[in-house]
A and B are shown apart, each in its own frame.
Chain A
Amino acid sequence: MRILLNDFLLKKRLHPLVLICFLFFGNLCLPGQGGCTDKEKPLDFTLSAPKNADHKTYLGLTRDDRFSLGQIKAEIVIIEIFSMYCPVCQREAANVNTLFDLIQNNRSLREKVKLIGIGAGNSDFEVDFFKEKYTIKFPLFSDTDFSIHKKIGEVRTPHFFGLALKGDCEYTIFYSQSGEVSDPEKFLETLLKDSGLKNSHE
């Protein structure tokens, strides 16, 4: 696409309409451009508050309306971009559950590190079905129209982001990995190391 545009620029004067079309729609559609997959870039989007009261408490939310990432009470937020339809996500569900248990069973981490999942292109039904199928204890959210998926750079599933709180209500990406967790302990160790958060290994 870049070659096509360069070619065009060399041969013809670029019409303002073409430029607007390219800048607006092109940036919306091209993976990795205008997204937030790069490290140290702030990331924010809104999600519907979970209906489950335990999940609301877990995330530190007090209201029932939509909330932004910045409202999650944590120092680190791990986001799994998954899909009910993705064989790797299905295979990895047990490992991600173990990751959640590792965090929850560690007193020094459980308040600081929170884990959520976002079902890319999945409806509420599909997310709930996945949650029930694999007895997932952490909050999962649907992204039926891929709007969040587009915002974060149209990653493949599963994909894991580590976000660290900078300032009062802004999270920046410090970790980004596509594919399997494989070893949840090692995964958590790497993630904590990259975040700079101290783990007392309780």
Chain B
Amino acid sequence: MLFKKIFNINLTKTVLRLCLLFICLSICSACQSDVKVINIGYIGPLTKRATDLGIGPANALKIAVEEYNRNKKPEEPVVNLFIEDDQWEKDNAIITYEKLRREQDINIIFISNSEGTIAISDKALEDGVILVNPLNNDALLSKLNSNTFKIAKSTEQANSLIAIRIIELGLKKVAIMNYPNDFMTIASTSCKKLLDKNGIKNKIVTINKEATDFEKELKSFKKEGYDAYVFFGYKNFGFAMKQARELGITAPFFGSTVLLDPAYYENSQGTIVGTECTFFTPADGNWVLANEFLDTYKLTYGEKPFSVWPPLQAYDAMNLVLNEVKTINDTKNSDQYFDEWLRQRLNNVKFFQGTCGNISIGKNGASKGIYFSLYNYESKGSLIKVKR
């Protein structure tokens, strides 16, 4: 009454109106579109070829996503992971990408295969999808569009170690057998470049994808007196190793990052032992975090991955992305596209402590901070660091 007399306002009505306004504002603010779910896809070789680059990373990505969902705060979005098999073929990569887009409406795609990465990169940009290659990082991939990120070792750095080792051992004539895909071609080229620079004779022979008989090439190399054999390819080169030894070739063998594929050993019938290759183990990265992850992996899947670097890199790549994704509701403007926002966030990552070491991402979307070392194939499934 007094209030009404003084202010000429009906207090009850005013309070009711204010309550109504408050409720409306609350509803409006609740209606503001917080991102609740982010769908991530992974395309990798789960069958047929290079499965060490597909199964291990897929498992690692699952662990990272499960850990994120388990520990996330209520306001952070839920992440779903959908996995598809490309059998290490770029054509399959395109098909599976389309499928993931169509059926799961993915916002981010991880892919192991470099050619597959190239094949879908423009489509990903068009769709507003962020593309991450968690295994390879090379100059060719860095030429792709701004939605493509490479959170992995540098292919050139890793494979140039082979050339340096050849120089170090004083070898004079190097035969390089090259599997016809982008990754192995870049490996061969970077190796050749360094050998050329140091005046060491070398020859790259690109073989057929499905080839299992290399006798012709090997006989030719033996005849020409090559004293070092570099196998930049996958498990079928196990046959080449076996055939080389059968032909009496005693020269040292060198290989790429994929030697630990069990099929490689089987195909070589043990002749792979003694081959030097570039590889990555927990000792090359953050020993504590890497072992912690490998223990979790073993606990989850019953065994450790036979090749540790692909899951380690994939785990770091996913965690790095999730580290940004979880901030979406705080950092993304409503008028910003998802890929625009995540691209900016990822380009600003200057220090991420992962299992592979401290990682930063450059403006070209390529990571820095993962460095491979030289290892010797000691016995089946086991490598030992080369003491130099």
* Chain A partners chain B: no
